[in-house]
Chain A
């Protein structure tokens, strides 16, 4: 089934500079802050052990502020002595980010703040300076690729039917914070307009690959990529170019308008928070890769197994008989068939 209600786990990678994070076992809802921290500027190395005249192993004992604490310019980081005191002080307002093994300190100014929010309702199963993982139950749809930061919001439909396209003039600021279901295709113009209007994320059957490269840069690939920058969030469900959504994907999406949802970009998953009794489960659709690989389309018709067929490329392969000609079996697959190969 494309839509599955199950217990899922989502890892949220944290940028450098986490100052606080949720505790393991804590219950969270999608959208809750899991971790917060600061973006650091250029760190300044402050002489520590040598300056205050203690052994490296003793620096921690004489420190006046813990690593990770915010400091003000001139604030004492570590100090020894009484009458003839020797101290290491913060050269700038910022944060004591690191204690080096040679006893020196790294102090960095704070140039921005960040927060990472949960994409699942559930409980925290891992929390450290690198990752906060949340486990919880939700309806989930596994997409092909996700781009941009995670997003949380209500689902809103912005298409006329399973073959409809997300057109820019249907997007306005009233959709701010929503997760927009953009139908079969969402072009770069619609994605950037949605982002400008504050839309949380765009979910589409297919996205033009060139549009993605225009929005996210020429190094964009067909794989999910996280980004902490101010860029749109896009979840591509089926492939690239154009397609139409099969009934098994479209009907549940159409019925989900107004429900809370979240996009977990790193794993290209759409979580929807609705009771398990909702009738979103459908038979799993199959897809066929176009003969020139330019599009992916759902298989709505019956395809009979054929014998080994010689194709115009002269490849001989097992084929399925479709109304418009034979299709290699390898070019037809279920929605959730693995997309990765072992390298």
Chain B
């Protein structure tokens, strides 16, 4: 699963050797999935017979599919030959152990080759990863967060240069309906700071999914787009977690660069809010965003959970400012010029040459507790939006 996420594949189905479904059901599942690529992993010696059974179901279900799916097999030579014979597909290839870097790289390369519209085309994922590498060379550990119509990409490069990426088909436009089906109406609605009927919300998401490139003209549409963005990031992170990627590395990256639709939000504060809540950032993070090819430092996000009330001190060109922080606090301290952050009662320390927004102090705790009932949830979410001034005022 890690390889499919890194390659940006749409994982259509997973069958395991002890799957309770029988031969015909397995074949029906595979036929309905219409896979372009099938990966068979015999990680243990005892998996061989079970995988041959699955390969037989694959031949029964997909042999007539056009174009015929490719099969990549991770197994020793003898087992690989058995699986290839049972599957009877025209194109099969060997895959190194996908638990290793070499195996994952081979799988990612094959998936990307299938996705590439032409031999020379550069996929957006690859461009984002290249950019993450460049920023990491300058700033150390970095997370690049790219959100577009159809895809959410999270590329983390550690200080030692190790790249871990997740490219999920969960966007805020063309695949917003898929996101809704995945997280449910309440998963989206919980981020909207005003009452919204479920039927209306579903219709808005479905219409948006059929309308690539739609511009949110009203505050209501913008609010929905921001809610979808949060949930797309959170869902991509949940997928990463299920794939065995340490979500903690994404939550405390040191630097976050926002790209795509997220960076294009009219207010930088809205983009920062989405990053904080979608990722559930932890520790101290500098948030950058790219607009028109220029990377702009936007904010320092300082997340803490103080035992007693703490004092955060921010020094900038206008002098030093202090704020007392207690559990539940969420505030923005606007800055001008060079910024230095320190705190007493909490381990927060950071510096920046300049920030277009300021320092965001988040003491709401992790995981974020969103009240389930509208009576408490709506004012809570509205307060969080207001704290960063993330939404324009509603026209009278």
Contacts and interface: CB of A to CB of B under 8 A. Distances in A.
A314 B266 contact: yes
Given A314-B267, A328-B217, A289 B207 contact: yes
Contacts of B205: 209, 222, 293
Contact of A331 (B199, B206, B211, B224): B211
A314 B198 CA distance: 26
Interface stretch (A93-101, A171-179, A299-307): A93-101
Given A43-B23, A210-B199, A241-B203, A289 B214 contact: yes
Interface residues of B, number: 65
Contacts of B85: 101
A100 B24 CA distance: 13
B203 A208 contact: yes
Nearest to B171: A343
Contacts of A289: 207-208, 211, 214
Nearest to B21: A42
| A16, A17, A219, A327: most-surrounded residue (chain B CB, <10 A) | A16
A230 interface: no
A219 B203 CA distance: 14
Contact of A16 (B60, B65, B66, B203): B60
B31 A130 contact: yes
B150 A343 contact: yes
Contacts of B10: 343
A213 interface: yes
Interface string B214-229: 1111111110100000
A100 B214 CA distance: 51
A144 to B, nearest CB: 6
B280 interface: no
A290 B52 CA distance: 53
B372 interface: no
Contacts of A317: 215, 217
A339 interface: yes
A69 interface: no
A315 B266 contact: yes
A131 B198 CA distance: 38
A241 B207 contact: yes
Contacts of B215: 311, 315, 317, 328, 330-331
Interface in A295-343: 295-296, 311-317, 326-328, 330-331, 333, 338-343
Nearest to A329: B215
B28 interface: yes
A294 interface: yes
B202 interface: yes
A31 interface: no
Interface of A is mostly: loop
Contacts of A130: 31, 62, 64-66
A331 B214 contact: yes
A12 to B, nearest CB: 13
B88 interface: yes
Given A130-B31, A222-B206, A314 B392 contact: yes
Contacts of B60: 16, 97-98, 106
B244 interface: no
A231 to B, nearest CB: 15
A235 interface: no
Contact of A293 (B88, B171, B181, B204): B204
A97 B202 contact: no
B205 to A, nearest CB: 8
Interface in A13-58: 15-17, 40-43, 45
8 contacts: A131-B66, A222-B206, A241-B200, A294-B200, A312-B219, A315-B217, A339-B210, A341-B174
Interface of B: 10, 22-24, 27-28, 31, 52, 56, 59-66, 82, 85-86, 88, 117, 149-151, 169, 171, 173-175, 177-178, 180-181, 184, 198-200, 202-222, 224, 266-267, 392, 394-395
Closest 8 pairs (CB-CB, A-B):
A314-B266, A130-B64, A343-B150, A328-B215, A313-B222, A221-B177, A210-B199, A241-B203
